[in-house]
Structure 1
Amino acid sequence: MLWVWIIGLAIPLAVGGLAGRLTMGSMATYGALVQPPLAPPPWVFPVVWAVLYLLMGIASVLVWKADVPQEEKKRALTWYGAQLAANFVWPLLFFNAGLYGIALMWLVLLLALVTATIVAFRQINPTAAWLLVPYALWLLFATYLNAAIWLLNR
């Protein structure tokens, strides 16, 4: 079932790649903002996100291939899809639109969706849930950065 792995990895990488392409021109604007302590240089973001998208893809495949009722998989993968959609929108709000306050609220929503995904994945495959923990931790860090940038650049 190689195709399951290919599709499972391709979906989050495609979502992230498209968001990255759509926000590529806004990195100069981001670099010109007053940055909070611990703000990484712009090149760190695509590297970290590539790893996180791969982990998401692996986790989703583990859930998809799990020997559990389809209804459980469907529920868990619906949470996964919702968080992936929210993930796609956040950089557009933050980088392209410069709506730092709205992006912060959206990031809190994204964190809630990722938490729900982790809970749903844990019930099916604990390894899949653990693979999403670095993502949740990065989102917590991103929340700090988003909030600080919003406050420092008003």
Structure 2
Amino acid sequence: MSRFRDLPHDRPWLTLALSVLVVEVVGASGSLFTVQGLDTWYDTLVRPALAPPNWVFAPVWTTLFALMGVAAWLVWRRARSSPRGARIAALTFAAQFVFNLAWSAVFFGQQAIGAGLVVIAVLWVLIVATIVTFARVDRRAGALLIPYLLWVSFATYLNYAFWTLN
């Protein structure tokens, strides 16, 4: 296990790229649910006034996943000096990621707007917890997740607006 903790120090650029790549690939897996309902269901919904065009979501999520990957890498780099903090941060990160993917599965896959609202509310809380646990290990890592929290806050508004309009 200590060898794993040494990797970001022994090979920083490789592990940074690996961290970003893993987060991007895992994050993109949620789009499998999104494409299921995008053209056939989502486009039939009454849209809130602030709903952005569909093309906006891919570049925003790609950027957010890259920031998440860098943040996770920063925490990984501190695993030697803060093993317990890094472990807690990694667990909260994993938990929020599960709910991130679950939201796509529920909202788009199951086409359940109300249940999606519940999932995204839990996701929001878990993102806050992840920011706090990341910041305890590396302040920069916590700060890199703030755009993610802001976007999910906006997405929560959209989810609520879709729920009330449809």
- TM-score, reference length from structure 2: 0.88
1:17-60 Cα distance to aligned partner (Å, 9 max, x none): 11113321321121221001110011111111000000000000
Aligned partner of 1:58 in structure 2 is 70
User: Percentage identity across aligned positions?
Assistant: 37
- In the aligned structure 2, how far is the partner of 1:69 from the partner of 1:25? 42
- In the aligned structure 1, how far is the partner of 2:142 from the partner of 2:155? 20
2:82·2:137 contact (CA, 8 Å) conserved in 1?
Answer: no
2:99 to 61, 77, 86: 86
Do structure 1's residue 40 and structure 2's residue 52 form an aligned pair?
yes
Do structure 1's residue 126 and structure 2's residue 109 form an aligned pair?
no
1:23·1:95 contact (CA, 8 Å) conserved in 2?
Answer: yes
Do structure 1's residue 21 and structure 2's residue 70 form an aligned pair?
no
- In the aligned structure 2, how far is the partner of 1:63 from the partner of 1:152? 41
Which one has the largest radius of gyration?
2
2:43 to 25, 31, 47: 31
Aligned residues, how many? 153
- In the aligned structure 2, how far is the partner of 1:16 from the partner of 1:33? 25
1:101 to 110, 114, 118: 114
Across the aligned residues of Structure 1 and Structure 2, the Cα RMSD in angstroms comes to 1.2
Aligned partner of 1:70 in structure 2 is 83
Partner AA of 2:27 in structure 1: G
- In the aligned structure 1, how far is the partner of 2:92 from the partner of 2:152? 16
- In the aligned structure 2, how far is the partner of 1:98 from the partner of 1:22? 10
Q: What stretches of structure 2 of length at least 5 have no aligned partner?
A: 1-10
Answer with 39-48 or 60-69: which moved more: 60-69
- TM-score, reference length from structure 1: 0.94
2:37·2:111 contact (CA, 8 Å) conserved in 1?
Answer: no
